[in-house]
Amino acid sequence: MNITLLGAHNTETVNTRLSGLLIDGVLALDAGGLTSSLSLTRQKKLKGVLLTHQHYDHIRDLPALAINLYLAGATVNIYATLPVSEIITSYLFDGSIYPDYLKRPAENPTVKLTVLEPLKAEMIEGYNILPVPVSHSVPTVGYQVTSSDGKVIFYTADTGPGLTECWQQITPQLLIVEVTASNSFEKFGRESRHLTPNLLRQELIIFRELKGYLPRVVTVHMSPELEVEIRAELAVVAGELNTQIEPGYEGMEIDL
C-alpha cells in the first residue's frame, strides 16, 4: 500500500495544502488538497473519495474535482456518513453556488454519493473500509483502510482527546493522526476538539495500554504558524514513549 499526503496542514499557503491523503493513486481520504495536488491525469484515475466530516478544509476541492471530471467525461464515487452527505447535497452540490454534479449529466452523473454507516465495514474499490467515530466538534469519522494483502492504516481526520472507544475498534500498522496546535494551545484544543503534542501523548498511552503496541505515527493538520513548536514538542513525546512520530508534509510518501 502506498500512501501519499496531499495536504498536511489546516490552512493553505504557497507551501502548505489542506487536509487529504491518497492511497495507491485511486482512493482519497478527504478533499482539502485534491485538485491543488493532482494533475488532471491523476484526478481522472481516482475511483473513490472518503469524507470524514463537513468542515471546509476537508471538502473544499470537491466542486473543482467534479468540473474537471465532468469535462473529461469521467466519474467519481464519494463516500460519507449521513450528516456529511446532507451538507454535500444541501450546500455544495445544490445548484446555487456550483452546478449539481450529482445530477449532471443526467444519463451518468459525474459524482455518485454513497452513505456510509459508522462502525459498519464496507468493501470499496478493493479495500476494506471501516468508518470509526472520533471526538470532534461535528460528527466525524476516521477511516481504517485494509488492503487485500493485509496492510492496515487508520486516519483520524480531525479529532480531540477522548479516543478510547475509537482505539478499541482498530489495529493499524500506520496511524495518521491530527496535531493542530502546540502545547500552549491545550485549552483551545480541548474546547475545539483538536490535539496538541501533549494531548496526543495521552491518547497514545491509552492506545498502548489497550492494544499492547504502538503503530508508526504520522501527524497532519498542523497550523503553519505553530509548526516549529509542534515539531519540537512531538520529538519530546516520541522520546518519552520510545516510538516513531513523524510530522507529515505535503508529498510525503509511505509504503507499507
Q: Quote the pLDDT of residue 34.
A: 95
Is residue 97 pLDDT above 90, yes or no? no
Residue 108 carries which DSSP code? S
pTM above 0.95, yes or no: yes
Q: What are the pLDDT digits (tens) for 200-237? A: 999 999 999 999 999 999 999 999 999 999 999 999 99
Q: What are the pLDDT digits (tens) for 136-182? A: 999 999 999 999 999 999 999 999 999 999 999 999 999 999 999 99
Report whether 67 contacts 80 (CB < 8 A). Answer: no
User: By C-alpha distance, which of 178, 176, 97 is closest to 144?
Assistant: 176
Q: Quote the pLDDT of residue 215.
A: 98
What is the mean pLDDT of the segment spanning 110-136? 98
Q: Quote the pLDDT of residue 131.
A: 98
Phi and psi at 229, nearest 5°, equal -65, -45
Question: Is residue 68 very low, low, confident or very high in pLDDT (cuts 50, 70, 90)?
Answer: very high
